[in-house]
Structure 1
Amino acid sequence: MSQTPNDPAGSTQQFQQWAYQQQGQPEKGAKVNVGLIAGVVAVLALVAIIVVALMISM
């Protein structure tokens, strides 16, 4: 017995149900990456400390 893949485009009703379910889910790309922001802040703080240390030593 062969199994057919579960294709949401297989029938109109299945596709409409699949499309309706997708509307309620938030986009994955809209999420803010907290780790990236924390990394950028850490790098900026490190650069600021280095600049201040170089200015004091002169």
Structure 2
Amino acid sequence: MAANHNSQGPEGNYDPAGSTQMFRAFVEEAAPARQAPTRRQLREEQQQAAGSKKGVWLGLAVALVVVAGVAAWLVLR
């Protein structure tokens, strides 16, 4: 008879794989269902995304002005 080291026998052997499976089943079962975002939440997310895009464009414009200013200063020097 082959020794089965993965099952919990009368000696009280610990089975870590079985415990992990039970823990995952418990966590997945206990996870709350995600609700669909409301119109207000969607609008706020869009406004935040638009605000960050404006900041990027503003930063690029400032960087371009600085580079152009440095180039002009070097040429006229």
Give the TM-score, by structure 1 length.
Answer: 0.49
Which structure is higher in RCO with an 8 Å CA cutoff and minimum separation 6? 1
Larger-gyration structure (1/2):
2
Give the TM-score, by structure 2 length.
Answer: 0.38
